Amino acid sequence: MFKSFVKSDLLKSSLFLVSILFCLSFTTHFLYFGHPSEVVFDEIYYGQSASHYIVGESWFSGHPPFGQVLLGAVGSFGEGNNSGAFGKIGDNLSGTNFRWLRLLPTVAGTILPIIIFFLCLELGLPKMSSFLAGLAVILENSLLLESRLVLLDIFLVFFGFLGLYLYLLSRRKKSLFLLCCALASVTSAIAIKWTGVSFLALIWCLEFFKFLKFKKFQTVTFQKISKAILLYAIFPFAIYFCLFIPYYLRVEQNLSASGAIQSFVDNNKHLWDYQSTLKEPHPYQSNWYEWPIMKRPIFYWTLKDTKNPAYIYLIGNPFIYWFSSLAFLWFFVSFVWKKLIKKCTNINQTDLFLILGFLGNLLPFVLISRLLFLYHYLPALIFSIICLAFWLEKIRIKKWGVFTIITIFILFTTSFLYFSPLTYGIPLSPDAMSQRFWFGSWK
């Protein structure tokens, strides 16, 4: 009976599956919305910069202004006095518009699992396995936490993966308009944080391999090269510049066109200088090779003066981290086996997409000397979750496949609920709280 339900037409309906994802995602993201009513971790930077945007004051947060412009634009609908707010972690935010500032990240986080669902469909996964990918994103605690606060990384993955979905859709439909939308979206990710360039680089790589696959060397002309440069380089750069304009219009209203260009150059040079010198040690910093096993979570906030402590930690769902890392390893080894051992000359585009996507969002951090944190892993984590969905699809067709998948997601759900007090900031007894720190490096 259960198997027949799993195979039913109802569960094969995209609308039905998307509705389930939306309801679950909406519930997990808006549960305890606005809690805590205190400054949490990097809200001291982005809460301040968004508040400066609302009143038309300039700011510098170490990143391009587009993310803070989005936060401030929505925050401007709320009432409250933000003067002097977001001064330090733990400051009371009563009387400010902090809920409005947290609203857009929460909405972006709510929609993200649906984007992943449709992205997986474009990659060739069946609807049920695509649904499981979206469900895993919902049950991932670190992605959830990043979307509940006045932070930027959820915008980075939102625009990045939306752009990749639109890119794959544009290839299938052969639509220049969709391709331009895709490039605009991934460029928006760059305008959130520079690490978003990995999404644009992935599109470049996929286009290059498509060029090699069809062996179009003989048809290369100066005109075609010029069109490619215009579309894939100049157009994204123009979009990136345009995403600075709302900032200039708000804080430098009398700035001329030439002044805007000079200000754009100065701002980006300042960003480069700041990022390249950000090397002061932090107790919760981590190394890139520690992220797939989630060795070092990040302490974000604690409730003071209470018998039962409440903490917020950027701690992921450990079983999703570990299973996804193993799934990527399986994916990578299978790819290498086919290429080197079996001498397979045909390159599967989905394999290429996921391997380049994961490595392109992880390996560049080898070259980055500034201090790093677990949240830098979130784009690569999502690629590994999609690899997990492909691995589960392989399992699903086996004799005990459905039972195995149900068992895995019971484990994911149990783990999500177990660590949710550290995601939502729910008070627990000291013993119950200490039990959630399984390793010394987690504290």
Percent of the chain with pLDDT over 70: 95
Q: What is residue 386's predicted lDDT score, i.e. its pLDDT?
A: 98
pLDDT band at 257 (very low <50, low <70, confident <90, very high): confident
277-312 residue pLDDT tens: 877 889 999 999 999 999 999 999 998 767 888 999
Higher-pLDDT residue of 413, 397: 413
Distance between CA 241 and CA 252 in Å, rounded?
15
Average pLDDT, the chain: 91
Calculate the CA dihedral of residues 414, 321, 25, 172 and round it to 10 degrees: -140
Q: Which of 5-19, 136-150, 307-321, 322-336 has the lowest mean pLDDT?
A: 5-19
Residues whose CB is less than 8 angstroms from the CB of residue 324 and which lie 6 or more positions away in sequence, other chains included: 136, 292, 381, 384, 385, 387, 388
Q: Which residue has the higher pLDDT, 329 or 443?
A: 329
pLDDT at position 2, please? Answer: 44
Q: Which residue has the higher pLDDT, 252 or 62?
A: 62
Contact 154, 147 (CB under 8 A): yes
The residue with greater pLDDT, 66 or 336, is 66
3-class DSSP assignment, residue 289: helix
Once rounded to an integer, what is the mean pLDDT over residues 383-406? 93
pLDDT in tens, 208-222: 888 877 666 667 778
Which string of DSSP letters, residue by residue, matches 307-343? SS--EEEE---HHHHHHHHHHHHHHHHHHHIIIIIS-
Phi-psi region of 294 (alpha: psi -120 to 50; beta: other; left: phi over 0): left
- Other CB atoms within a 10 A radius of the CB of residue 57 amount to 12
Residue 4 has pLDDT above 60, yes or no: no
Q: Structure pTM?
A: 0.94
Give pLDDT tens digits for 54-65: 988 888 888 999
d(CA 146, CA 155): 10
C-beta of residue 186 within 8 angstroms of C-beta of residue 160: yes
Q: Where are the beta strands (DSSP E) in 238-310?
A: 298-302
Closest CA to 153 of 309, 42, 308: 42
Query: For residues 189 and 180, what is the distance between their CA atoms, to the nearest angstrom?
Result: 14
